[in-house]
Amino acid sequence: MRIFALLLLTLVAGACHRDGGKDIIREFAWIEGTWKLLDTEMAVYEAWHPEGREWQGESYAAVDGMKVPTEKIRLYREGDRVVFSQRVKDRDGGEPVDYVLTGQDKNSWTFSHPDYSFPSEITYTRVSDVAMKVRIKGIREGQFTEIFLEYVRQTGPIRAK
């Protein structure tokens, strides 16, 4: 009986370790959907959906009724780390840049890549079920730069195709 209990405990501990003890789909469920960037002349969106055991997203602009992609995003667990991977059009040779979760509280998640100049840190803050803020900061053209973005959840159809 002791051997069975020890084996069961080992299996449960191993499963928790592989998933970091958290299910990333549930942990970030609030981000699902399409978010519109406020205070811009152009209609800019960030859209997220679950895919398997990770979140996939994209940023795009709506120009003359057409969807113009600007970046692809992934949010996933790799071992003990939560990774925010960003692939920006026309930057880094099309290769993704990975940021690791370095801080979080109930409604805020900070991802860092200290060796990358800009951004070296990205923070997502859930303001409410329909609002989020994103702060990006780092060194750009030799200067410390911090940008604050505000998004609202879209509830109707998005017109860009």
Here the contacts of 88-96 (C-beta below 8 Å, separation 24 or greater) are 96/72
Entry pTM: 0.81
CATH superfamily of 22-153: Calycin beta-barrel core domain (2.40.128.20)
According to DSSP, the β-strands at 54-63 and 121-128 are unpaired
Rounded to 5°, angle at Cα 114 from 153 and 124: 15
User: What pLDDT, in 10s, does the model give residues 43-72?
Assistant: 999 999 999 999 999 999 999 989 999 999
| Mean of pLDDT over the chain | 86
- Average pLDDT by consecutive 10-residue portion of the chain (161 residues)? 35 40 84 95 95 96 93 96 95 94 95 96 97 97 97 74 47
Distances (CA, A) of 58 to 62, 113, 143: 13, 20, 27
Say what the pLDDT of residue 90 is.
Answer: 87
Closest CA to 36 of 55, 60, 68, 65: 60
Domain boundaries along the sequence of the chain: 22-153
